[in-house]
Amino acid sequence: MLLPPTPISLILGNDAPHSIFGCFDDDTGDLDFEKFLSYSRFMSEEAAARTREMNLAQDNNAAEGGDGRYDYCDGEDGEIRQPQQKKRRRRKYVMARCVESGELEPTKPTESFWYSYYVCDPLLECDRFVKKFRNRFRLPYDRFLQLVEDCRASDLFKRWTGKDAVGRDATPLELLVLGSLWYLGRGWTFDDIKEATAVSKEVHRTFFHRFIEFGSTTLYAKHVIFPTTFEEARRHMREFTVAGLPGALGSTDATHITMWNCKYNLHNNHLGGKSKSTTRSYNMTVNHRRRILHSTRGGPGRWNDQTMVLFDNFLKGIYDGDHLHNVEFELLERRNGEIVTVKYKGGYVIVDNGYLRWSCTVPPYKVTNKTNELRWSKWVESMRKDVECAFGILKGRWRILKTGVRVQGVEACDKVWLTCCALHNWLLDIDGLDAEWDSVDLPVASEWEGPLGDVDTEDLPSNIVELATATNLNARNYDSSGMGVGDNVANTVEERHPVDMDLEHNFDVGSLDCDVRIVGEMGLGFFRSRLVEHFDILFKQNKIKWPARRGPQPDMHNNNLY
């Protein structure tokens, strides 16, 4: 059935503009708003009239015994325009050559090696398979299946949990999760994973962005939880209490992760640190068992520790008194020849000397020649190696953190880091490495750590006494010129500002007799001196012990926990 064109303007006698060019004023060339509204109404009415004509023609054609299809005459030449067919994009498969015929034929994901070896029929009864799977994908097989089910239950992966618009099965979710774990753990490219899974690299790339979104939110919130109460903090403080650092929750430091695809306008800010490439900086706090308590989102690689700590919600909360203000611990100190116990409230972490001088971030001494301060500083430096070990474990287990993140954007780089942190804590729980450590007794102390180490001058030659005594002078105020300090400053030499501000106690000494001392209200110098004295008392009582893991060994069947 053929219908001629019937413009609505002929029916209604509408004098509205028939094109957008008729909406402009002839004199000024500006758009006439009233003409434009008239033109919009005209187009709407014409479209509605055409729809009514087409529906009427279709009904008439069906009533006359036709097939119900209408043809519309478009233009003066009477050319018939057929209804436009909807285009569908064909699914792209990985092509492989058939051995028999030599022709290319598609390889479906369900025909790939990974699907047949890891998904369809895994050899779970074979110890070698279980070990290799853990080594390659970093997770035990049963926890991999649990991760797949968690992804299947998330709305982020709804695209891969059902069928497409024409009823075809979606790409197996197991293959996509395996590809993401391999990408994180081995540092492969998506094109490499395509060859193993017969899934296009674009599908793997799209899924990976959803996976790190899931890992940085759901998994991170589930496995990376910093303590907020005294009871929660107590289990993280045990190893530090045994080591003579009561009240310490963990160690804090920052690390840099290379980010290859950095936007040009952010390139300059992300150059810094030890790398010549663009990097992101992350501040992380761990307990002595290498469990991550908190990590910041990334900052530009140019930022140092003092800047990063300002964006650390955990440490900033401790400093402001919002977190862990109810943590209580006791320190020993000497008063009038006696040893007394003093209560403190508030938590702290041990750091290096790159952080702000907060009483909740305690570093070792930079300049000292006092035996007790030197001994305490070396002990703290050894204790805070746990955070360095955690960085090494993270970059060794998740190779993408060592080779550099290649996905586009700083947000994606941050999500990769947080996902790896969440998986790290999950593996600690899986392997039983988060249980509290028991302590072991230290060997008998050397005699050089007793009176001889403190320069006991009795029975020593005079030249050795003079040499040893010179090393026990106050290095911060000692005049090495041999000429004296001069009359103008002779009376103030002991009051001059120390070189590294280690003597800044800035604490009201009059409040020392209070029942409970608040860590957040003290200066770093005073609080650190109390920690040194407590450690020195316990050391001379032979009560300092190095925390070590005791009891049954964890399940290390994979031999690749770190």
pLDDT in tens, 94-142: 666 566 666 777 788 888 889 999 999 899 999 999 999 999 999 999 9
> Based on the domain organization, do 20 and 140 belong to the same domain?
no
Closest to 258 measured CA to CA, from 246, 242, 276: 276
pLDDT digits (tens, 9 = 90+) for 196-218: 998 989 999 999 999 999 999 99
Give the C-alpha separation, 149 to 180, whole Å. Answer: 15
Residue 281, phi then psi, degrees to nearest 5: -105, 135
Instruction: Based on the fold, state whether residues 280 and 338 are members of the same structural domain.
Output: yes
Residues 274 and 342 in one domain: yes
Tell me whether residue 343 is in a domain. yes
| Domain final residue, candidates 366, 397, 431 | 431
Average of pLDDT values for 176-186?
A: 95
**For 170, which DSSP code?**
P
Contact in structure between 175 and 119 (CB atoms under 8 Å): yes
Do residue 171 and residue 292 come from a single domain? Answer: no
User: Do the beta carbons of residue 561 and residue 427 sit within 8 Å?
Assistant: yes
Band (pLDDT 50/70/90 cuts) for residue 40 is: confident
Q: Give a yes or no: residue 309 inside a domain.
A: yes
Q: What is the pLDDT of residue 499?
A: 40
CB atoms within 10 A of CB 160: 20
Tokens coding 36: 């434009």
Question: What percent of the chain shows pLDDT beyond 70?
Answer: 73
Same domain, yes or no, for 367 and 343? Answer: yes
| Number of domains present in the structure of the chain | 3
What pLDDT does 49 receive?
79
Residue 555 falls within a domain, yes or no? Answer: no
What's residue 82's pLDDT?
Answer: 56
| pLDDT for residue 176 is more than 60 | yes
**What tens digit of pLDDT does each residue of 398-434 get?**
999 999 999 999 999 999 999 999 999 999 999 988 8
Q: Are residues 400 and 298 in the same domain?
A: yes
Nearest to 369 by CA among 452, 474, 467: 474
End-of-domain residue from the set 35, 59, 81:
81
Q: Vertex 519, ends 529 and 495: CA angle to 5°?
A: 40
For residues 486 and 500, give the distance between their C-alpha atoms in angstroms, rounded to a whole number.
23
**Helix crossing, 190-197 with 201-214: angle to 10°?**
110
Give the three-class secondary structure for 210.
helix
- Token pair, residue 207, equals 């899924």
349, β-bridge pairs: 361
Are 406 and 305 found together in one domain?
Answer: yes
Query: Are 285 and 411 part of one and the same domain?
Result: yes
The Cα–Cα gap between 185 and 28 comes to 66
For 21-32, how does the pLDDT look when each residue is reduced to its tens digit (9 = 90+)? 778 877 777 878
pLDDT tens profile 361-397: 999 999 888 999 999 999 999 999 999 999 999 999 9
State residue 455's pLDDT score: 41
Domain boundary among 431, 450, 484: 431
In this predicted model, what pLDDT tens digit does every residue of 316-353 receive, in sequence order? 999 999 999 899 999 999 998 899 999 999 999 999 99
- Which value, to the nearest 10 degrees, does the dihedral of the CA atoms of residues 550, 552, 558, 561 take? -20
> Is pLDDT larger for residue 450 or for residue 295?
295
Say yes or no: 24 and 132 in one domain.
no
CA-nearest of 46, 65, 47, 48 to 1 is 65
Distance between CA atoms of 420 and 426, rounded to whole angstroms?
A: 10
Instruction: Report if residue 64 sits inside a domain.
Output: yes
Tell me, yes or no, whether 550 lies in a domain: no
Distance (Å) of CA 158 to CA 2, 173, 201, 207: 46, 10, 19, 11
Is the model more confident about 258 or about 442?
Answer: 258
Q: Which residue has the higher pLDDT, 94 or 66?
A: 94
Q: Which domain holds residue 283?
A: 231-431
Instruction: Pick 450 or 126 by higher pLDDT.
Output: 126
Same domain as 57, residue 192: no
- Average pLDDT (224-230) is 91
Structure-token pair, residue 361: 């971030």
DSSP states along 418-458: HHHHHHHHHHHHHHTTTSPPPB-PPPPPPGGGTTTTTT--T
Indicate if 414 and 334 belong to the same structural domain: yes
CB of 54 closer than 8 Å to CB of 72: yes
Establish if 505 belongs to a structural domain.
no
3 state SS for 219-237: HHHHHCCCCCCHHHHHHHH
How many Å apart are CA 98 and CA 94, to the nearest integer? 13
217 within a domain of the structure (yes/no): yes
Q: What is the pLDDT of residues 249-287, one digit of tens each?
A: 999 999 999 999 888 888 888 887 677 889 999 999 999
* 529 vs 531: CA distance, rounded Å: 5
Of 88-102, 418-432, 471-485, 515-529, the poorest mean pLDDT is in 471-485
Q: What is the pTM of this model?
A: 0.72
The pLDDT of residue 536 is above 90: yes
Q: Is 338 among the domain residues?
A: yes
More confident residue, 482 or 83: 83
pLDDT score, position 99: 62
Residues with Cβ within 8 Å of residue 55, at least 6 apart in sequence: none
Residues 44, 110, single domain; the answer is no
Bridge partners, residue 331, by sequence: 342
Least confident of 119-123, 175-179, 474-478: 474-478
Say yes or no to pLDDT of 47 above 60.
yes
Q: Residue 538 phi/psi, 5° resolution? A: -65, -35
The alpha helices in 448-495, defined as continuous H runs, are 462-470
Closest to 194 (Cα-Cα) out of 317, 94, 343: 94
Selected residue with higher pLDDT from 402 and 442: 402
